[in-house]
Structure 1
Amino acid sequence: MSAHPTLTPPAFTSRVVPVIVITDVAQAVPLAQALLDGGVDVMEITLRHAAGLPAIEAVARAVPQMHVGAGTVTRADEVRRVKDAGASFALSPGMTDALVQAAFDAELPFMPGVMTPGEVMRARDHGFRLVKLFPAEQAGGLGMLKALGGPLGDMRFCPTGGVSVDNMGAFLRLPNVAMVGGSWLTPVALLEAGRWDEVTRLARAAMGIAADVASVAVTG
């Protein structure tokens, strides 16, 4: 029997997930293309701004090769809305029973947010094996993930919050880290200025670090 779609990890290949606050829908499509040009095939457009939902719809329609996800999904009614907009997955900073049920009902791949061992266990009880550690820095960062790896070794994490180009490699080297999320790839100032070439440069740099980590893992 195949896994429920909600529990199926998104199909993107990038181990770096840009966490994006879009304030103008016109930024969405060129941003998606700039990230793709840098090798990043996923973007988490958050619902922190009213432009988030129409931005998801714009990317899903115009850039089908981009895996666009909805971030900051915190209410059950938002799940159906982001799926209808074209999101291929959703993420949340936390987890409630209503939110999980809504994701199951919509059959939308979902990554709940956790911060404590108990929350990780609750997510596992729901059937999830990939969760978002948020806020990662405040939750204990690298030390917390190493500690969780023992008793909860069957869980995989996407740490977000405090992850940067300077420490992403250290996170990705942990065996229980599937990917990292962060906003450094898409600073608001670059988006507002339309500096898509700079976004591509940042994406390439991040992908280079991820590739180096993968290379060491294979040869080591």
Structure 2
Amino acid sequence: MNGRDAGTPSVGVHTVGIVDDHELMLDGLCTWIDANAPALDVVIRSSSWSEMARHTAFPPDVVLMDLQLKEPISVEARVRICRSVGTTVVVMSALDDPDTVRRVLDAGAAAFVSKARPAKELVETVMNVLGLRRPGDAAWDEVSRPRVVSTSIRFTEDEEETLRLYASGHSPVEVAMILGTNIQAVKNALERVRRQYGSEGRQADSKHDLMLRAAEDGYLA
């Protein structure tokens, strides 16, 4: 939990609950969010689902939930409980195969993030599912203002939909499942999109850059 008073979150701050049975993961994630995400306030940090559900700060705005906990309650049941009280769920796991991701999304989670990804990417996903931009980020502040970008780029329907989903925070695996295609097709589409932006001198190498380009061109409107 960070330095803010959990009982009275600041205006514009969204409350977060984290449940993971690995203390190192809990400590690292809470510390990173406290230092780098002023719009998020970790009000619950728990190593068990039962502790999370009984906490006085439950339900928070969003729960970051480990897929595999030691308790005999399925991820489907945990997600269902969270959603019934209006809480958004992001599931984390070291298992990131397509079947696992599909199971999580079918359960009703807003997003899935592999534990192989950095904390920054997890927080960006949380911000996306909450509909937030990152405060103080000059590039995002710029994009948030109305802007018309002159471009000759014309994407195919598949490329455009892939860009929309990816730039909205979905992983390539999630995009593939949503579109009913395979992950290589998604990667190929994103590579074509990046090449087209590059042909106009508009940087799109990283996911962050691609999100900015998508916002500039109205794909995130």
| TM class by smaller structure | 0.3 to 0.5
- Higher relative CO (Cα under 8 Å, sequence separation at least 6) belongs to 1
* TM-score, length basis structure 2: 0.36
* TM-score, length basis structure 1: 0.36
